[in-house]
Structure 1
Amino acid sequence: MINRLDHLVLTSSDPDATTHFYTRVLGMRLETFGNGRIAFRFGNQKINLHVRGHEFEPKAHLPVPGALDLCFIAEMKLAEVIAHLQRQNWPIVEGPVQRTGATGPIRSVYIRDPDFNLIEISEYL
């Protein structure tokens, strides 16, 4: 019945810091749509941004910053991701460590975005 994830919605308390993180640190493309709404595009997916207290309807039952745990597959080697994060002065919470992805074993590092969402960046082994 379900084929793929199209987009997800992230609720932020600081949209400027969130925009910086997802565009500069993670390299996603900033997209504006609708009546000035913001999204971060990567591959064939995107993350729509809601600002806490100003969410669009309908919304999640309890939209709160910091509640997400996301895993992204990098388009480069994990060593390059780590070097990029170091250049951006973005701290790694854990890793590299081995985990299990949707289709097999992965190697991952974990970071947090400005709202403390857990972000896993991985490569398949």
Structure 2
Amino acid sequence: MPLIDHLDHLVLTCVDPEATRHFYTQVMQMEPETFGAGRLAFRFGNQKINLHVRGSEFEPKAHIPVPGALDLCFIAAVPLDDVIRHLNKVEWPIVEGPVERTGATQKIRSVYVRDPDLNLIEISELLN
């Protein structure tokens, strides 16, 4: 049996927490959550993204926490064509796609966007 089962959360470092909140709640449609001493997170499914603001990170933290260093892939809860329509509606630019890629468990079809800190965000649907 493997040692690790799944990802619980990851920590994203940002420059502008309000711009980041807008992207992850309005564009990505994640649920905002406040925890601890007023910390902000974005919940989706059984996972979440915890937010650090550059220069005000919580300890312990990554060795070199920097905005814009992440490349994340999310599996959409809706067909990718619906995701594309939503991105167009909220006027968030797609930087690439749709394209076929290899996911963790099977082939995926993806579009790529960038968040306000220029992290690369891949939004995908599973292919049969």
What's the TM-score bracket when you normalise by the shorter of the two chains?
over 0.9
TM-score by length of structure 2 reads 0.97
Tell me the CA shift for residue 60 of structure 1. 0.1
Deviations 1:55-112 (A, max 9, x none): 0000000000000000000000000000000000000000000000000100000000
User: Which residue of 2 is the match for residue 105 of structure 1?
Assistant: 107
Q: Which stretches of structure 1, 4 residues or longer, exceed 3 Å deviation after superposition?
A: none
Cα distance in 1 between the residues matched to 2:85 and 2:27: 11
Q: CA RMSD in A?
A: 0.3
Alpha-carbon separation, structure 2, partners of 1:28 and 1:15: 15
Structure 1 length-normalised TM: 1.00
Structure 2: distance between partners of 1:14 and 1:115: 8
Partner in structure 2 of residue 74 of structure 1: 76
Structure 2 residue 50 is the aligned partner of structure 1 residue 63: no
Q: Secondary structure at the match of 1:27?
A: coil
Extract unaligned runs of 5+ from structure 1. Answer: none
Secondary structure in 1 matching 2:105: coil
How many residue pairs are counted as aligned between the two chains?
125
Out of 8, 11, 14, the position equivalent to 2:13 is 11
Return the match for 1:88 from 76, 87, 90. Answer: 90
SS at match of 1:66: coil
1:114 is paired with a residue whose SS is coil
**Uncovered stretches (5+) of structure 2, i.e. residues with no partner:** none
Post-superposition shift, 1:7?
A: 0.2
Alignment match, 1:49: 51
Shift, 1:32, TM fit: 0.2
Amino acid in the other structure paired with 1:123 = E
Determine whether 1:26 maps to 2:28: yes
